[in-house]
Amino acid sequence: MQIKKVGVIGCGLMGHGIVQVAAQGGCQVVAVETEQKFLDSGLGRIDKSLAKLAEKQVKDGKATQEQATAFVAATKARITGTLDKKALADCDLVVEAIVENLDVKKTLFAELDKLCKPSTIFASNTSSFSIGEMGKASGRPANMVGLHFFNPVQLMKLVEVVRAADTSDEVFSAARSFGEACGKVPVSCKDTPGFVVNRLLVPYMAEAIKMLERGDASAQDIDIAMKLGCGYPMGPIELTDYVGLDTTLSIVEGWVKRYPNDPAFCVPNLLKQKVAEKKLGRKTGEGFYKWEGDKKA
């Protein structure tokens, strides 16, 4: 089962990156959004990112200016944007990267089942919801798989490929190959909360916020400690700002609700407080730190 045409629903923080890496990998990509302004914004981000990548290829001596320009043009030519989900009918794979709300995702997959050809594989880029539950809602559980990319998608090398109980061998293997075509290293995960990365990363971020809450150390010192002590590219507080405080809160709240007796899952009060104040991190210009675009102020 070879994936040649891909649909990506949602062209936001994660979705625009998935559209881009799939197109870079040689797939025809249909990017679907709900409003023209969201589509324009996502496609605009792709343009900027491709320009950065091309500039870097030339600077690093990996491509001539002509080759870099041709790479950008060929990648863009594979991408079409639309507000109409019917354009997904003949896709080999549809990846959703919409809001982290399980009911909304289930409704979407049920709708896609009616629109897409029977062989279309459905994938979710969810951070923490059950792929199996979405598979059941889609009416084609054997064709459902998780494809969890990391932020920023263009630069992070990993994709988690999540196998639910009903995912067929053929679908799982096609999803892994797609991840590789996108330039990523796939790891196989079971359909467990947070898969591999977020199951380890999110409790670590929550612990760091509790540390800050208790006044054990400043945000800056916690971040410096983990960067210089463990070699992480970002400290946990900065990373929470980068990922989004609302996203982090919704992941931990969901887990606490579903697994109230698991001590690894807890909701730090400071996180709730910041989200209530609409300090959501990089995306709103302030979280634990102040931000100017993609960089800390």
Catalytic residue set: 127, 148, 160, 198
Pair of tokens at residue 87: 């354009």
Cβ at position 155, least distance to ligand 3HC in Å: 4
| Binders of ligand 3HC in range 42-101 (CB under 6 A) | 49, 52-53, 56
SS3 147: strand
Is 130 an interacting residue with respect to ligand 3HC (CB under 6 A)? no
Pair of tokens at residue 66: 């002509």
Whichever of 72 and 116 has its CB closer to ligand 3HC, that residue is: 72
In the chain, the amino acid numbered 219 is: A
Number of residues that bind ligand 3HC (CB under 6 A): 18
Is 234 an interacting residue with respect to ligand 3HC (CB under 6 A)? yes
Cβ at position 190, least distance to ligand 3HC in Å: 17
Is 24 an interacting residue with respect to ligand 3HC (CB under 6 A)? no
In the chain, the amino acid numbered 95 is: V
Cβ at position 42, least distance to ligand 3HC in Å: 12
Whichever of 45 and 279 has its CB closer to ligand 3HC, that residue is: 45
Residues 6+ apart with CB under 8 A from 101: none
Distance CA 207, CA 160 (A): 24
Cβ at position 124, least distance to ligand 3HC in Å: 11
Contact 3, 27 (CB under 8 A): yes
* Closest alpha carbon to 124 in 94, 85, 80: 94
Bridge partners (DSSP) listed for residue 108 = none
Choose, by CB under 6 A, the member of 198, 223, 237, 245 that binds ligand 3HC.
Answer: 198
Is 124 an interacting residue with respect to ligand 3HC (CB under 6 A)? no
Is 11 an interacting residue with respect to ligand 3HC (CB under 6 A)? no
DSSP strand pairing (121-124 vs 291-292): unpaired
Q: What values do phi and psi take at 183, rounded to 5?
A: 85, 15
| Binders of ligand 3HC in range 151-180 (CB under 6 A) | 151-152, 154-156
Distance CA 143, CA 120 (A): 7
Whichever of 171 and 243 has its CB closer to ligand 3HC, that residue is: 243
Per DSSP (E only), the strands in 83-128 are 93-96, 121-124
Sites of contact with ligand 3HC (CB under 6 A)? 49, 52-53, 56, 127, 150-152, 154-156, 198, 201, 233-234, 239, 243, 247
